[in-house]
Amino acid sequence: MSTRFVGDTAVLLGRSLRHITRSVDTIITTAIMPIAFLLLFVYVLGGAIETGTDSYVTYLLPGILVITIASGISYTAFRLFLDMKSGIFERFQSMPIARSSVLWAHVLTSLVATLTSLAVVVLVALLMGFRTGAGVLEWLAVTGILVLLTLALTWVAVIPGLTARSVDGASAFSYPLILLPFVSSAFVPTDTMPGPVRAFAEHQPVTSIVDTVRNLFAQQPVGTEIWTALAWCVGILVVAYSLAMITYRRRVS
């Protein structure tokens, strides 16, 4: 059964990736908004923001990477919605393939596309002055956290992709996720915020993820923050995957 699942997922993944390569503008579009935020905050607002660091672009980049992920997953819901409406899911169900492989193909396609967008954003940040002394292990840790976050949020995107009644409804869920980094330590330290806002910012997932990535880039001790970040990612992943599979079974049954 596991061999069949892997084989079916690989075939369907190839199909989805071919669609991506035919519309590279999707990846470019995903990266445009984070890059625009990067340019706006560094060159327009950065001079008025005090973060206690010498380079604002270095402080800012981890939050921009989270926004890149949140922007990219909306396309997962969009593509899944189109497949649902086209009737291709019904055709897949009539074929001897593992049911969950259809969803996994979409999720892994999103992972590949999002990682490409993240690489583009990092390259732009390097041109803008981002510098890090992080070694191979730190980069691997950062990549692992971003991959885990992408998987978690992509499974969240699967749910509206399966249940939305319109294209706009399928992708609108991502707007709160894009705005969430603005109420975190992504752009400014949380100690500059008023009490209730600071309490929310310090206890939501983006702050722990951003602080962990920032400390890894700066080669600073991550302490228990990394475990909090991983717990958030794994928790969201488990809940979203479970709800997505329940929703999927109901839709195709």
Which pLDDT tens digit goes with each residue over 194-229?
A: 989 999 999 999 999 999 999 999 988 888 889 999
- CA 101, CA 92: separation in Å to the nearest integer? 10
Give the number of other Cβ atoms within 10 Å of residue 172's Cβ.
Answer: 14
pLDDT, tens only, 67-87: 999 888 887 887 777 777 766
Contact 130, 57 (CB under 8 A): yes
CA–CA distances in Å: residue 174 to residues 91, 111, 154, 160: 29, 16, 10, 10
Instruction: Flag whether pLDDT at 7 surpasses 70.
Output: no
Tell me what pLDDT residue 149 has.
Answer: 96
pLDDT, tens only, 51-66: 666 788 999 999 999 9
Please, what sign has the CA dihedral across residues 78, 148, 140, 219? positive
Global pTM value = 0.87
